[in-house]
Amino acid sequence: MKRTTSDEMFGRAKQVIPGGVNSPVRACRSVGCDPLFIRKGQGACIYDVDGNEFIDFVCSWGPMILGHAHPSVTSAIQMTGQEGTSFGAPTPAEIELAAMVVDAVPSIEKVRFVNSGTEATMSAVRLARGYTKRNIVVKFDGCYHGHADSFLVKAGSGLLTLGIPGSPGVPEDIVRNTLSLPYNDLVAFESILREKADEIACVIVEPVAGNMGCVAPAPGFLEGIRRITRELGIILIFDEVITGFRLAYGGAQQRYGIIPDLTCLGKIIGGGLPVGAYGGKREIMDCIAPDGPVYQAGTLSGNPLAMAAGIATLKELQVANVYERLEQKGMMFAEGLEQLIRSTGISAQLNRVGSLMTLFFAAGPVYDFDTAMRADTVKYAQHYRQMLEDGIYLAPSQFEVAFLSLAHSEEHIDKALKMTESSFKKLTD
Ligand code: HOZ
């Protein structure tokens, strides 16, 4: 694979951007290579600046559920852009996208748009604290809710990839109010919640964890969290930045039939443009300024281009059988991978929920942070580099998910399986 131009660009990027990247995982350090610079995407494929083509299983970390450069999305962006790109004032598109989100997501009666998933979770927690007048936030080990101070305790994603336990710059005083508990352990959860109920503002959870690799909720886990938080008057926040409009049109909460008090969204609702949102019960949302005292604001919030791309994306997702098609693609890929695990005897586990999945190079089942940590990251790095060489673009970390889009065809999945087989053979030689 030729990579002279990417390497040259990375050299220049490192002079002017910390680590040469605008988000740490992209530096590809944990997989032992340098990043490729992407020139364009089309459907299920991306093309780098050296002219290499890859089948893309990162999908911009989730937003590109329709594939790259989908005509409805690109034309909505072009048409909107011709009329101006930002006004810092209300526009009609905000109401249209808000109404679509309210119709789709069972827990959302009102929604506020922001610019990223990080802003959404940060704002939702402030709202929960303002509403309950309590301070403690409960999260789960290995879940990642963006990079706001309160969440950088045993967090997933880039912190796991780079082995950063917490971050300098986050005051002790802030993380003192964050409790991180084991994912999928309802017994530990119930005992801590009952002990500290009077101080806990909210519990935030990825209903399907996607930032320590894909980890599904154990049967009864989400139900238990909902039951206990409701009983104790603690706000339950679902971070559906990854799962929203992906695991079902109404997100994981629709798929599992559990209604949180607040929900955070991002990624898909912006169709690949920067966006986030948080929403929930009217009574709680009405505490946000200007109706209530909880402050949150943003110059680019509800940006017209992002709204247009989001509306176009959600309209495509309303087409019949879209989620069944995604499920089938996910199943086909997963069955193929499981078959390869059996036939090659490689020590690996496949976790999948819908169109999200992770191949863990681990000997035993992965159901929480500790079991995810047992995965062989050196083996993942070898596999990653081999797949890249063979035209398959995977997440550059063991602790992320692979995303499928509607643009991935049987041929794309077949090719990815063939390349996986060849990589496994090299790994077991
Ligand atoms: N934190 C993201 C993955 N869970 C990575 C974002 C990026 O590098 O774009």
DSSP states along 74-131: HHHHHHHHTT-S--SS--HHHHHHHHHHHHH-TT-SEEEEESSHHHHHHHHHHHHHHH
Nearest atom (ligand 1) to Cα of 21: 8
Q: Is 400 in the pocket of ligand 1 (CB under 6 A)?
A: yes
Mutate which of 17, 26, 61 for ligand 1? The one with the most ligand atoms within 8 Å of its CB, which is 61
For the domain 71-317, what is the CATH code?
A: 3.40.640.10
Q: From the CA of 166, how far away is ligand 1's center (Å)?
A: 17
Q: From the CA of 62, how far away is ligand 1's center (Å)?
A: 9
Residue 367 CA to residue 259 CA, distance in Å, equals 23
Cα 82 to chain centroid, rounded: 31
| 144 is a catalytic site residue | yes
Residue 52 CA to residue 58 CA, distance in Å, equals 16
Residues 290-326 as b or e (16 or more Cβ within 10 Å = b): eeeebebebebbbbbbbbbbbbbbbebbeeeeebeeb
Per annotation, catalytic residue among 144, 249, 256, 323: 144
Q: What is the DSSP letter of 299?
A: T
Cβ contact 388:202 at 8 Å: no
Cβ contact 175:166 at 8 Å: yes
Task: Determine the pLDDT at residue 241.
Answer: 98
Nearest atom (ligand 1) to Cα of 397: 3
Nearest atom (ligand 1) to Cα of 24: 8
Q: Is the dihedral of CA 138, 140, 145, 150 positive or negative?
A: positive
| 278 is a catalytic site residue | no
- H-helix segments, 17-91: 71-81
Task: Determine the pLDDT at residue 68.
Answer: 98
**H or E element: which one contains 41?**
strand 38-42
Closest Cα to atom 6 of ligand 1: 23
Q: Is 418 in the pocket of ligand 1 (CB under 6 A)?
A: no
Closest Cα to atom 3 of ligand 1: 157
Task: Determine the pLDDT at residue 165.
Answer: 63
Cα 167 to chain centroid, rounded: 20
Nearest atom (ligand 1) to Cα of 157: 4
Strand partners, 38: 48
Contacts of 40 (CB under 8 A, 6+ apart): 46, 47, 68, 69
Cβ contact 121:139 at 8 Å: no
Task: Determine the pLDDT at residue 158.
Answer: 73
| 323 is a catalytic site residue | no
Query: Hey, what are 77's tokens?
Result: 């962006």
Residue 63 CA to residue 27 CA, distance in Å, equals 20
- β-pairing, 349-353 vs 356-360, is antiparallel
Instruction: From first to last of the 429 residues of the chain, give the pLDDT tens digit.
Output: 999 999 999 999 999 999 999 999 999 999 999 999 999 999 999 999 999 999 999 999 999 999 999 999 999 999 999 999 999 999 999 999 999 999 999 999 999 999 999 999 999 999 999 999 999 999 999 999 999 888 887 777 777 776 666 777 888 888 889 999 999 999 999 999 999 999 999 999 999 999 999 999 999 999 999 999 999 999 999 999 999 999 999 999 999 999 999 999 999 999 999 999 999 999 999 999 999 999 999 999 999 999 999 999 999 999 999 999 999 999 999 999 999 999 999 999 999 999 999 999 999 999 999 999 999 999 999 999 999 999 999 999 999 999 999 999 999 999 999 999 999 999 987
CA angle 239, 406, 238 (to 5 degrees): 10
Length of the chain: 429
Question: Tokens 């791309």 correspond to what residue?
Answer: 309
Strand ranges for 188-281 from DSSP E: 200-205, 235-239, 262-266, 276-280
Tell me how far CA of residue 247 lies from CA of 61, 63, 322, 353, 403, in angstroms: 15, 13, 11, 8, 11
Query: Hey, what are 389's tokens?
Result: 């060489």
Closest Cα to atom 4 of ligand 1: 157
Task: Determine the pLDDT at residue 152.
Answer: 83
Q: How is domain 4-69+321-428 classified at the CATH fold level?
A: Aspartate Aminotransferase, domain 1 (3.90.1150)
Residue 227 CA to residue 186 CA, distance in Å, equals 11
- Taking only Cα atoms into account, the Rg of the chain, rounded to an integer number of angstroms, comes to 21
Q: What is the DSSP letter of 43?
A: B
- β-pairing, 235-239 vs 356-360, is unpaired
Q: Is 156 in the pocket of ligand 1 (CB under 6 A)?
A: no
Residue 299 CA to residue 84 CA, distance in Å, equals 15
CA dihedral 126, 127, 129, 132 (to 10 degrees): 180
Tell me how far CA of residue 234 lies from CA of 136, 176, 194, 198, in angstroms: 10, 18, 11, 9
Q: From the CA of 265, how far away is ligand 1's center (Å)?
A: 15
**For the chain, domain boundaries:** 4-69+321-428, 71-317
User: Would you say the CATH fold of 71-317 matches that of 4-69+321-428?
Assistant: no
Nearest atom (ligand 1) to Cα of 25: 8
Q: What is the DSSP letter of 329?
A: H
Instruction: Report helix, strand or coil for 385.
Output: helix
